[in-house]
């Protein structure tokens, strides 16, 4: 009994720990996976911004916003701004945009274009009396003391700090409207083939972002954007092979699974030990209680036997006309029998609980057994004007014949207690697959729905609701325990004022002979 409870507590602790580990580990895995995807998408859009910048194409507002986000994530990367055609200086409005994006925390007071130097320089003045100098062509900050010559063309921002490992892993495919690669600007590894479906989506919608699987099984995050210039490529398709990220995620998953397995095993061992320590005193108390009940039952049998024998001797010496004395001694005999049955029931329950009840399971022919039980109980039922009859009976089950007979007698006794005169109790048995079901059906008062869940509890009695007394409340618990000890099942269905059906399900012993 307590061993099963110990196993249940251990399994509950292990499953709880496993659920917690799955939630924490799975959440961490999803966070890392989401981080990889977000950084990859941001890097693709940032790279796309630089490609537009390099091609002197107007940069869409979406990419400018993304480029600003990238500069916040990578603090060493300066954001790009829409730049004019090559050889044309920035306007004052464009310079203000540079200042707003790059020096957001400083208040701008004045912008002045200095044309007296060797190159065009914008002088920028702030409210804190500081000033900076920007190249009028590129918008880059310059040192006014080192200006020697003006640039012939505007150049992109330095990539030393902006293009980190994320950007280096991105390939670029300039495509025409038919998906043909116009030229290969990639310095290393041959990029995958252009993805035509993504290209068509970008040409119709402006841009497209998706994850594809290449012919060799690699996963690629692909960003396709329609170019904003009429000349040159129709679209740019940028992509990043996700093999390295998937390798990291697989390693993370293996670590999570390994730690989960080790943690669950260690927690299971700890839970088993703790449950054993916690249930140990209860186990000992239960065993002492069972030992006490068994010893007390054995000890009570002897005086009860002596009381009954002495009462029978005294009863034989009482004259037949002394009815009072004979009634008193008859009551003593009746109570002695009742006590003997109660002691036997307690002893049976004690043996069931401790697993020490000896059962001899052999093939039992139900036609013969139910016929004997019917004949035996008919002597009692005739006194109550109740008929016990056999219905359709067939089948051979594996059971202990004495204990199965005991269960049937308990069920028939209950049926007789709660059946009215001139009613019928029916015994049937029919095979169902590899099992045989025995039914005891009465036409008695039935059991109220609120009592049905409790009828197998020890010492529980619904007699007050039925107006019946003299029941200790041990018959059905014993019957259920005996059937379950024979690997069977006992169930009850009932309706008030209609009757009760008790079903015993046992394993079939051998195929029936047709």
The region of weakest confidence among 102-116, 222-236, 359-373 is: 102-116
Q: Which of 39, 38, 63, 35 is nearest to 49 (CA)?
A: 63
pLDDT at residue 259 above 80? yes
What's residue 427's pLDDT? Answer: 94
132 in Cβ contact with 141 (< 8 Å)? yes
Residue 270, pLDDT > 70, answer yes
Banded pLDDT at 514 (limits 50, 70, 90): very low
Helix axes 61-73, 2-54, angle to 10 degrees: 120
SS3 27: helix
Mean pLDDT for the stretch of residues 126-148: 72
Q: Where are the domains of the chain?
A: 247-354, 362-507
CA distances from 203 to 58, 82, 231, 234, 433 (A): 16, 22, 15, 8, 67
What DSSP designation does 229 have?
A: S
CA 349 to CA 271: how far, in whole Å?
Answer: 31
Per the model's pLDDT, the better-predicted residue between 369 and 513 turns out to be 369
Residue 86 clears pLDDT 50, i.e. is over it: no
Q: Are strands 235-241 and 362-365 parallel, antiparallel or unpaired?
A: unpaired
The answer to whether the beta carbons of residues 224 and 235 sit under 8 Å apart is: yes
Q: Which strands, in side-by-side order, build the sheet including 121-126?
A: 108-114, 121-126, 131-135, 141-142
pLDDT over 60 at 229, yes or no: yes
Residue 335 has what pLDDT?
Answer: 81
Answer yes or no: is pLDDT of 146 > 90.
Answer: no
Report the distance separating Cα 156 and Cα 456, nearest Å: 86
Q: Which CATH number describes the domain made up of 247-354?
A: 1.10.287
The pair of structure tokens assigned to 225 is 């954007």
| Across 63-67, 100-104, 158-162, least confident range | 158-162
pLDDT of residue 37: 92
pLDDT at 163: 40
Checking if the pLDDT of 370 tops 90, the result is yes
Give me the sheet containing 424-432, strands edge to edge: 387-393, 424-432, 435-442, 499-507, 489-495
Give the tokens for residue 28.
């961490």
Round to whole Å and give the CA distance between 273 and 268: 9
pTM of the model: 0.50
**For the purposes of burial, counting CB atoms within 10 Å of the CB of 118, is it exposed (0-12), middle (13-18) or buried (19 or more)?**
exposed
In three state form, how does the secondary structure of 295-363 look?
HHHHHHHHHHHHHHHHHHHHHHCCCCCCHHHHHHHHHHHHHHHHHHHHHHHHHHHHHHHHCCCCCCCEE
pLDDT tens-digit series, residues 151-174: 333 334 444 343 456 677 889 999
Q: What is the pLDDT of residue 155?
A: 39
Compute the distance between CA of residue 293 and CA of residue 284 in angstroms, rounded to an integer: 14
pLDDT tens digit string along 273-313? 888 888 788 777 767 766 776 677 667 777 878 888 888 88
User: Which has the minimum average pLDDT: 130-134, 193-197, 504-508?
Assistant: 130-134
pLDDT reported for residue 160: 37
Contacts of residues 2-7 at CB distance under 8 Å and 24 or more positions apart, as own/partner, are 2/279, 2/282, 2/283, 2/286, 5/275, 5/279, 6/272, 6/275, 6/276, 6/279
- Rounded-to-integer distance, Cα 166 and Cα 326, Å: 107
Angle at 240 between CA 182 and CA 183, to 5 degrees: 10
Q: 187: how many CB neighbours lie within 10 A of its CB?
A: 7
Instruction: Please report which confidence band the pLDDT of residue 338 belongs to, taking 50, 70 and 90 as the band edges.
Output: confident
Q: How far apart are CA 410 and CA 475, in angstroms?
A: 6
**In sequence order, what DSSP letters do the residues of 172-225 get, joined into one string?**
EEEE-TT--B-----SSSPPPPP-HHHHHHHHHHSEEEEEEE-TTS-EEEEEEE
Q: Which long-range contacts (CB under 8 A, 24 or more apart) does 262-265 make?
A: 263/17, 263/21, 264/14, 264/17, 264/18, 264/21
Q: Does pLDDT of 464 surpass 60? A: no
Q: Does position 491 have pLDDT exceeding 90, yes or no?
A: yes
Question: Mean pLDDT: which of 19-28, 81-90, 456-465 is highest?
Answer: 19-28
44: left (phi over 0), alpha (psi -120 to 50) or beta: alpha
Whether 227 and 177 have beta carbons less than 8 Å apart is answered as no
CA distance 286 to 3: 12
- Other CB atoms within a 10 A radius of the CB of residue 449 amount to 10
String of DSSP letters for 396-452: EEEE-HHHHHHHHHHHHHHHHHT--TT-EEEEEEEEETTEEEEEEEE-S----TTTG
Percent of the chain with pLDDT over 90: 28
Lookup result for tokens 């609701």: 465
CA distance 275 to 5: 9
Structure tokens at 65: 């916003």
Q: List all residues 6 or more positions away from 135 whose beta carbon is below 8 Å from its beta carbon.
A: 119, 120, 121, 122, 141, 142, 151
Does residue 267 have a pLDDT over 50?
yes
Res 147: pLDDT: 52
User: What is the rounded end-to-end Cα distance, in angstroms, of the chain?
Assistant: 43
Top-ranked range on mean pLDDT: pick from 77-86, 97-106, 353-362: 353-362
pLDDT at 293: 67
Considering the segment(s) 362-507 as one domain, its CATH architecture is 2-Layer Sandwich (3.30)
Confidence of residue 85 (pLDDT cuts 50, 70, 90): very low
For residues 119-143, average pLDDT: 78
Mean pLDDT, rounded, of the chain: 81
CA distances from 502 to 385, 445, 461, 462, 505 (A): 21, 14, 17, 16, 10
Please tell me the predicted confidence (pLDDT) of residue 138.
67
Q: Tell which wins on pLDDT, 271 or 159.
A: 271
């Amino acid at each position: 009994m307590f061993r099963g409870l110990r196993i249940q507590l251990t399994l509950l602790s292990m499953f709880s720990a496993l659920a917690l580990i799955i939630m924490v580990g799975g959440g961490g895995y999803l966070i890392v996976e989401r981080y990889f995807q977000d950084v990859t998408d941001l890097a693709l859009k940032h790279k796309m911004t630089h490609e537009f910048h390099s091609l002197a194409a107007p940069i869409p507002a979406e990419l400018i916003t993304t480029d600003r986000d990238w500069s916040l994530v990578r603090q060493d990367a300066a954001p790009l701004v829409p730049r004019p055609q090559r050889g044309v200086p920035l306007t004052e409005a464009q310079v203000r945009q540079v200042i707003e994006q790059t020096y957001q925390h400083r208040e701008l007071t004045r912008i002045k274009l200095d044309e007296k130097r060797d190159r065009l320089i914008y002088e920028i003045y702030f409210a804190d009396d500081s000033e900076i100098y920007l190249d009028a062509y590129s918008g880059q900050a310059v040192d006014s003391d080192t200006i020697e010559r003006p640039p012939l063309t505007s150049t992109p921002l330095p990539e030393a700090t902006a293009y980190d490992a994320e950007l280096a892993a991105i390939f670029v495919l300039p495509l025409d409207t038919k998906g043909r690669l116009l030229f290969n600007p990639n310095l290393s590894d041959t990029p995958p083939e252009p993805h035509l479906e993504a290209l068509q989506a970008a040409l119709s919608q402006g841009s497209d972002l998706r994850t594809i699987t290449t012919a060799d099984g690699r996963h690629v995050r692909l960003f396709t954007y329609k170019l904003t210039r009429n000349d040159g490529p129709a679209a740019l398709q940028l992509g990043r092979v996700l093999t390295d990220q998937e390798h990291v995620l697989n390693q993370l998953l293996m670590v999570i699974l390994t730690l989960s397995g080790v943690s669950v095993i260690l927690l299971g061992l700890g839970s088993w030990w703790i449950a054993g320590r916690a249930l140990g005193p209860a186990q000992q108390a239960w065993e002492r209680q069972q030992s006490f009940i068994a010893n007390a039952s054995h000890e009570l049998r002897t005086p009860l036997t002596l009381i009954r024998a002495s009462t029978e001797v005294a009863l034989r010496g009482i004259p037949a006309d002394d009815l009072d004395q004979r009634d008193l001694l008859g009551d003593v005999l009746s109570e002695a029998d009742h006590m003997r049955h109660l002691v036997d029931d307690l002893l049976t329950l004690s043996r069931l609980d401790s697993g020490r009840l000896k059962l001899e399971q052999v093939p039992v022919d139900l036609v013969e057994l139910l016929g004997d039980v019917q004949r035996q109980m008919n002597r009692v039922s005739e006194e109550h004007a109740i008929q016990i009859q056999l219905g359709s009976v067939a089948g051979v089950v594996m059971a202990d014949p004495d204990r199965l007979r005991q269960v049937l007698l308990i069920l028939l006794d209950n049926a007789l207690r709660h059946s009215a005169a001139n009613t019928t109790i029916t015994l049937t048995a029919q095979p169902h697959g590899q099992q045989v079901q025995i039914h005891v059906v009465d036409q008695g008062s039935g059991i109220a729905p609120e009592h049905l869940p409790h009828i197998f509890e020890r010492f529980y009695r619904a007699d007050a609701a039925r107006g019946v007394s003299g029941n200790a409340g041990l018959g059905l618990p014993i019957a259920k325990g005996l059937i379950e000890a024979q690997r069977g099942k006992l169930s009850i269905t009932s309706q008030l004022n209609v009757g009760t059906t008790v079903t015993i399900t046992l394993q079939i012993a051998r195929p029936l002979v047709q």
